[in-house]
Structure 1
Amino acid sequence: MPIENDPEQTGQSTSSAKGAIAYYVSAHGYGHGVRSCDVIKAINRLYSRISITVVSNLPVSFFENRLESGTNLYRGGSFDVGMVQLDSIRADVAATLAKVEALYAQRDKLIAQEIAFLERACIGLVAADIPAIPLEAAALAGIPRIAVGNFSWDWIYSAFVERDARWGELVRCFEHGYGKADLLLRLPFSADMHSFRAAEDVPLVASPGRNRRAELASLAGCREDKRWVLLSFTSLDWSNDALDNVEKLTEYEFFTVLPLRFLRKNIHPIKREQVPFADVVASVDGVLSKPGYGVVSDCVVNRKALLYAERTDFAEYGVLVEAIRKYLKHSHIPAERLYRGELCPALDLLWNCPDPPLSLKGGGAEIAAQRIAAFLS
């Protein structure tokens, strides 16, 4: 464990006395943003003197909707690609390679750009979930740096090296960047994260929502006495025939969170600004989604059943399915049935599944906030 006052161990310079954090958040889906908001919210609550600049290409409205404090600052910036998605469950590996290569061709420029920002903004600590370039910039600036996550991009991309050798050099770039972190705060459902020099496990980072079923029924103009299912996807390629099949499930009310919208009588779009995502999860009977840290965590803390479809070309899938089997009432729907809108058999199975064998402790946001604040001291 690094000694807080030892510059050689922490990478700490005189600038670390500054009470400001730059929190870099991957824009690969909303899962990174959701858990980062929980940690940032805990810092805002426990350490009001610490100012935070959130750096991400996720919409500012997303962060403002989840963060109560009006003191946080926001800055656009993209320092990783994640996976290019055909939709929420299918990835385009070739397009991902092209985008990662293009990003890392600008690596030196981006590092120099971030060093200038960190110095100009008097940043005393960098947190990253979980791009690597900001960690490299912080190291060169002599600023403490902490990574937060349950997987890293070097691990995800290493699965593609056998398909195309160009991935090898990119994996090594990420390994190098992650090696600059002083500490990894490793979240549950974690994969091999060997690139980090030091790691501490923290409990689940997720906040339970508030059941607002009556309010949602009024907003959507639907009935409370039916089964409610949240369609938790950023995008989903449903044909008219598939939507016809879903609309025939008259015993169900389905919900989406904008921008996902389908114009059918029993599918209701919800604005995050009206009802936060966690509250939607808390209000429904079950969730239909692909395995991702955010949705799995939200289902765990809200004790909701999860119907999941397989994801292609995403190494995290197996790790998350293992977690689903331990901690959630769950069932699987084959992707081809999902795309045809043939949901009824799998949903029937979901309601009759046994309760999960294990539970999972929460409180990770507060613990992560305390460790981050300690490095800033």
Structure 2
Amino acid sequence: MLHPSASKHLWLALSPHGYGHAAMTAPVIQALRRRRPELRLTIQTALPRSFLDERYGSDFVHVPEIPDFGLKMLSATNVDLDASAEGYRRLHADFIGLVEGEAARLRDARPDAVVANVPYATLAAAARAGIPAVALSSLNWADMYRHYLGDRPEAAAIWAEMRDAYDSARAFLRATPAMEMPSIGNVVDIGTVARRGRNRRDELPGPAAARLGLVAFGGIDHDLSMARWPRLEGWTWASAQDCPPERDDILSWRELGLPFADLVASVDVIVTKPGYGTFTEAGLSGVPVLYVARPDWPESPAMDLWLMAHTRALAVTVEEMLGDLESQLRTLFSLPSQDVAQAMGNEEAAEFIDRLLLAEVGTCESS
């Protein structure tokens, strides 16, 4: 058996459904690397290397091919049901063959453990290759699939393969806040997984009295164009969307030169949709959040309640936001302050993964 301090190799598979899965996992890997500075990391995801470098540093191998896609989206808040159903039909047309192909990839790489947030085919492949694996997320695609596509004639067979893949993992580390997971039989609840940003407002351009808002709808385009964004006296808006060249009050958030979590902690308000990364980073910093309600998204009930317990938060429609943004902000800022959250899940997840890396695992395959 290797000495506990010897170099270990972790394979991290990340859903390329927006940037949230990669963002929420990064502080866990940072905590793990504090325990294991010599950790070798492989990241499997279709997300761009530039984004991964921002969150994980450059010391990892990037595998850009992954069968997971999450859900096909029409916009940041609208699921393309037909395209998603077709994507899953194709993915599961020969699921056994797909899993064997991914297992061969893992056998060649010989990692000591696999972490998935939250591609289930990778978990099934790890089980096939005899490599210990754990899932980490606030959602799973099996329950998402059943929620949106469970009435399709092929759904029962597809969902069963998804469920079995998740259950093949040593555990599903469910980060707070999270959706209900009736499909998953190996859930281990942990605390919030997120990075607490640092307020660096004094480093940002403009007069100190000016107000700064962040408009961020995640890594998937939103159907809200910034060309329609109301102009408010005394406000500047940093946007992750395309910025209209004629608007001097809107700029790209990247122009401000801060990591996203630090920018979250440095603004007066965040305008967003329900999403684990932005919600938790706001809750850790106590920054008010104005968000577009998303009642169809299974994570929303838990995330909404959690956010309102840790910062001022107000759910609105796009029409209300664009029609009278000033009034909505006034209502938001009048809400009582809340106690900020703590990110206890970072170390809890890192400890679990560290134990997984230490496990003695044979090279035999599961049947």
TM-score by length of 2: 0.88
Give the SS at the match of 2:228: helix
For each residue in 1:13-37, what CA deviation from the matched residue of structure 2 results, as whole angstroms up to 9, or x when unmatched? xxxx982111001111111111111
Partner of 1:372: 353
Q: Which residue of 1 aligns with 2:297?
A: 314
Q: Would you say how many aligned residue pairs link Structure 1 and Structure 2?
A: 351
Q: Using the TM superposition, name which of 74-83 and 38-47 deviates more.
A: 74-83
Tell me by how many angstroms 1:160 deviates: 2.8
In the TM superposition, residue 91 of structure 1 has moved relative to its aligned partner by 2.0
Q: Corresponding residue for 2:48?
A: 59
In structure 1, the gaps of 5 or more residues are: 6-16
CA contact (8 A) 1:181 1:197 kept: no
Equivalences for residues 1-377 of structure 1 within 5 A: 19-68=8-57, 70-161=58-149, 163-217=151-205, 222-233=206-217, 234=219, 235-238=221-224, 242-243=228-229, 246-247=230-231, 249-257=232-240, 260-263=242-245, 264-271=247-254, 274-311=257-294, 313-338=296-321, 340=322, 342-356=324-338, 359-377=340-358
Shift of 1:163: 4.4
Once residues 203 and 228 of structure 1 are traced to their aligned partners in structure 2, the CA distance between those partners, rounded to angstroms, is 30
Cα drift, residue 106 of structure 1: 4.9
The equivalent residue for 2:361 is none
- Give yes or no for contact 1:65–1:272 (8 Å, CA) kept in 2: no
Instruction: Spell out, residue by residue over 1:175-217, the C-alpha distance to the aligned partner (whole angstroms, 9 max, x if none).
Output: 1111111111111012222444433222211111122223332
**Identity, % of aligned positions:** 28
Q: CA 1:20–1:240 in 2, change beyond 3 Å: closer, same or farther?
A: closer
Secondary structure of 1:298's counterpart equals helix
TM-score w.r.t. length of structure 1: 0.86
SS at match of 1:271: helix
Letter paired with 1:203: G
Which residue is equivalent to 2:362? none
Q: Once superposed, what is the RMSD of the aligned Cα atoms?
A: 2.3
Letter in 2 for 1:370: E
Asked if the contact 1:185–1:202 (Cα under 8 Å) also holds between the matched residues in 2, the reply is: yes
Question: Structure 2: how far apart are the matches of 1:79 and 1:205?
Answer: 25
Q: Is the 8 A contact 1:208 1:298 kept in 2?
A: yes
Q: Distance in 2 between matches of 1:279 and 1:230?
A: 12
Quick one: distance in 2 between partners of 1:207 and 1:53?
A: 21
What's the offset of the Cα at 1:89?
A: 2.0
Moved over 6 A (4+): none
